[in-house]
């Protein structure tokens, strides 16, 4: 494979030098957006590779996992998810999601329908405005409801290797769910999966091919200060050998995720934010393969009956979430910034998990707990086994609303932006908002961005073949000690 810079026609010609601190989903996406447009972009990442952090597995095309968030946020997430699929199609796992309410839940299935109708109407409008937006199936099929009678008819049918119609996705659910514990109807919604490893692979391959995107891994920012003229920035980084490097930039993007407050503190800039440590778990259930949807059993967050989420991958691997304090959530795992610092202070035990390996007994305890959490609704899943260390990280939530899910960017000092995404699909919105600020600052000519605003321009990112993406994604999964199946399209 030849990964040398490829010829293409950038839309911009500008001497502006942009630094992006943090190579997660936000930083990598913003770097690609800028570099592919023609801006001189440097991406600084303290780790050895791109797109680490909180476990990504879901596109959130409508935010249907979150009953507690506003309809407005769900509509924003729908639009952002559509844009994400168009830019990163190779990292999308095309399979729907079943949403079910246990009988123990206080809500009713009918409570979900008004929001789903709004989302379907918005999707229909987006497709009507631009046919290229039809990336998550037919608008009329955005969601479908199925009764107990519908599901009973599927019990005993073999799980197909591939799904040819909507009901094929329901067979695994019908065969393995305790249907007497579920309220009906259930909902099948076009909420697709999203692979963090494949997204990391796409970003890495593209950056290697972009001559004006300079990736600096294993570099930690230790100081940042304004130029004497207060127009640009001086950044000092330190590598693994404790050697310091000094660089000058015209504009800085803080995309440090849960560590964003540390850069704010260096600049003596105030910002209220929250940080939450979360984890997902990897189980293996090889005897039951085929066309599995994602399955979500709603529940009250933070209680023993918190939401249970089963995300399928090839070869019988599943990623598990359980919104309880013993599984995905952690006691004192949600913290806020203070008057003295923009950086929320997670307890040392969480930083230890992020920076070092988890104790084996804790991996087993929490993974087995997540298996049991799913098994209360799907009894046969109790035979699943622990497959890998957890997928974990801390996510930032700007402001003071723990239910905020649709967020993108904020600005403070001149020539300084913070990428503050909560969900991966918001990264493109953040990139475009920062582009607009670059225009306002006079660093990019507005006339040159006309085409860029009309369409997301990623010619190099989209040149990587599926085989190249898969190969690199598997390498990243193995380097991070996860099963290769998590890097494959479902």
**CATH number, domain at 234?**
3.50.50.60
Whether the predicted pLDDT of 451 surpasses 90 = no
Count of domains forming the chain: 2
The answer to whether residues 371 and 428 belong to one domain is no
Tokens of 489: 């399209």
The answer to whether residues 323 and 349 belong to one domain is yes
Percent of the chain with pLDDT over 70: 96
pLDDT score at 254: 97
Whether the predicted pLDDT of 193 surpasses 80 = yes
Domain assignment present for 412:
yes
Q: What is the mean pLDDT of residues 40-49?
A: 96
How far, in Å, CA of 257 to CA of 223, rounded? Answer: 17
How far, in Å, CA of 85 to CA of 455, rounded? Answer: 13
The β-bridge partners of 391 are 280
The answer to whether residues 96 and 168 belong to one domain is yes
The answer to whether residues 355 and 304 belong to one domain is yes
How far, in Å, CA of 188 to CA of 265, rounded? Answer: 45
The answer to whether residues 136 and 209 belong to one domain is no
Q: Work out the pLDDT band at 1, boundaries 50, 70, 90.
A: very low
Tokens of 39: 């801006």
Whether the predicted pLDDT of 2 surpasses 60 = no
Q: What is the DSSP code string of 316-328?
A: GEEEEEE-STTTT
Angle at Cα 102 formed by Cα 138 and Cα 165, nearest 5°?
Answer: 25
Domain assignment present for 106:
yes
The answer to whether residues 379 and 480 belong to one domain is no
Residue 363: DSSP 8-state: H
Domain assignment present for 457:
yes
pLDDT score at 394: 92
Of 352, 378, 393, the position where a domain reaches its end is 393
Domain assignment present for 58:
no
* Torsion 433-439-440-446 (CA) sign: negative
User: What pTM did the predictor assign?
Assistant: 0.94
Whether the predicted pLDDT of 4 surpasses 70 = no
The answer to whether residues 149 and 282 belong to one domain is yes
pLDDT score at 293: 97
Whether the predicted pLDDT of 259 surpasses 90 = yes
Whether the predicted pLDDT of 157 surpasses 70 = yes
The answer to whether residues 153 and 288 belong to one domain is yes
Higher-confidence residue: 414 or 225? 225
Tokens of 166: 């909507």
The answer to whether residues 296 and 426 belong to one domain is no
Please give the residue range of the domain that contains residue 181: 81-194+274-393
Q: Are 197 and 486 in contact (CB under 8 A)?
A: yes
Higher-confidence residue: 406 or 5? 406
Q: Quick: pLDDT tens for 338-348.
A: 999 999 999 99
How far, in Å, CA of 133 to CA of 142, rounded? Answer: 13
Domain assignment present for 60:
no
The answer to whether residues 188 and 102 belong to one domain is yes
Q: What is the DSSP code string of 196-262?
A: HHHHHHHHHHHHHH-TTEEEE-S-EEEEEEE-TTSSSEEEEEE-TTS-EEEEEESEEEE--GGGHHH
Q: Quick: pLDDT tens for 349-398.
A: 999 888 888 999 999 999 999 999 999 999 999 999 999 999 999 999 99
Of 358, 393, 428, the position where a domain reaches its end is 393
Whether the predicted pLDDT of 6 surpasses 80 = no
Domain assignment present for 235:
yes
pLDDT score at 221: 98
Higher-confidence residue: 11 or 480? 480
């Amino acid at each position: 494979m030849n990964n040398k810079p490829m010829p293409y026609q950038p839309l911009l010609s500008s001497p502006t030098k942009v630094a992006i601190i943090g190579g997660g989903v936000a930083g990598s996406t913003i770097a690609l957006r800028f570099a592919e447009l023609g801006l001189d972009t440097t991406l600084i990442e303290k780790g050895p590779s791109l797109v680490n952090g909180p476990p990504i597995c879901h596109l959130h095309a409508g935010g249907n996992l979150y009953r507690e968030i506003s309809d407005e946020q769900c509509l924003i997430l729908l639009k952002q998810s559509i844009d994400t699929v168009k830019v990163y199609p190779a990292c999308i796992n095309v399979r729907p999601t079943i949403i079910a309410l246990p009988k123990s839940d206080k809500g009713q299935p009918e409570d979900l329908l008004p929001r789903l109708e709004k989302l379907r109407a918005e999707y229909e409008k987006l497709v009507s405005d631009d046919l290229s937006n039809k990336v998550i199936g037919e608008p009329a099929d955005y969601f479908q409801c199925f009764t107990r009678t519908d599901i009973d008819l599927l019990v005993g049918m073999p799980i197909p290797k591939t799904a040819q119609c909507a009901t094929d996705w329901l067979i695994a659910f019908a065969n393995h769910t305790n249907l007497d514990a579920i309220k009906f109807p259930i909902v099948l919604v076009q909420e697709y999966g999203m692979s963090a490893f494949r997204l990391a692979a796409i970003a890495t391959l593209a950056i290697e091919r972009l001559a004006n995107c300079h990736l600096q891994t294993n570099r930690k920012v230790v100081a940042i200060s304004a130029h004497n003229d207060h127009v640009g920035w001086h950044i000092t980084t330190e590598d693994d050998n404790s050697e310091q490097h000094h660089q000058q930039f015209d504009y800085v993007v803080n995309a440090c995720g849960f560590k964003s407050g540390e850069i704010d503190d260096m600049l003596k800039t105030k910002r209220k934010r929250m940080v939450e440590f979360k984890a997902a778990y990897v189980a293996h259930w090889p005897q039951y393969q085929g066309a599995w949807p994602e399955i979500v059993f709603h529940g009250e967050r933070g209680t023993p009956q918190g939401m249970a989420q089963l995300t399928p991958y090839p070869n019988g691997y599943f990623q598990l979430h359980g919104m309880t304090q013993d599984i995905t959530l952690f006691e004192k795992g949600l913290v806020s910034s203070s008057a003295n610092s923009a950086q929320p202070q997670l307890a040392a035990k969480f930083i230890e998990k992020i920076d070092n390996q988890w104790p084996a007994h804790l991996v087993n305890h929490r993974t087995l707990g997540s298996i049991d959490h799913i098994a209360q609704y799907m009894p046969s899943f109790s035979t699943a086994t622990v497959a890998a260390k957890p997928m974990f990280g801390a996510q930032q939530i700007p402001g003071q609303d723990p239910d905020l899910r649709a967020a993108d960017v904020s600005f403070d000092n001149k020539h300084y932006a913070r990428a503050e995404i909560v969900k991966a699909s918001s990264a493109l919105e953040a990139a475009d908002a920062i582009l607009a600020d670059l225009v306002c600052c006079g660093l990019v000519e507005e006339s040159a961005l006309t085409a860029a605003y009309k369409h997301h321009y990623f010619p190099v990112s989209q040149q990587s073949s599926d085989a190249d993406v898969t190969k690199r994604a598997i390498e990243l999964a193995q380097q991070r000690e996860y099963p290769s199946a998590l890097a494959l399209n479902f």
